[in-house]
Amino acid sequence: MDCGPEWDAIVITPLERGLAALARLGLPANRGYPVLADYVRHELIVHVPAGTAHRCTAQGTRSLTTGSWLLVPSGLHGSVSATWLSTPHPTRPRFADPGELSEALRQVDQTGTA
């Protein structure tokens, strides 16, 4: 998928750190917040509004914006390599706030817990 026109993405390493940050934010997995787990690279990929990924300044993250491509699993389930942990809502996608995500990652880094 082409990043930028409709959304950006933030890649978080390691996967568990990203999951702990999402838990801190209380983002429900079944509410249409697009979140991918890449088990091969051990990364969590969180979709954010287009043009906002640069607001996530936490260590251990990288932004996928206009000009970036993200390979996503086909279908709703994915594979042993990568899967949707939270699938995009079919008509009204919801996005994590990159500033709040950045702060949650800093809190996880400071406390070591979700």
pLDDT digits (tens, 9 = 90+) for 60-100: 999 999 999 888 887 667 777 888 888 777 777 789 999 99
Give the C-alpha separation, 60 to 18, whole Å: 10
Question: Quick one: pLDDT at residue 113?
Answer: 67
Average pLDDT over residues 9-38: 89
**9: which strand partners?**
47, 64
Query: 108-112 — which CB contacts under 8 Å span 24+ positions?
Result: 108/17, 108/20, 108/21, 108/24, 109/17, 109/58, 109/59
pTM, two decimals, is 0.90
With beta carbons less than 8 A apart as the criterion, state whether 64 and 5 touch.
no
Under a CB-based contact definition with an 8 Å cutoff, are residues 83 and 35 in contact?
Answer: no
pLDDT per residue as tens digits for the range 43-62? 999 999 999 999 999 999 99
- Structure-token match 């406390």, residue found: 111
Helix axis angle for 15-25 and 98-111, nearest 10°, is 110
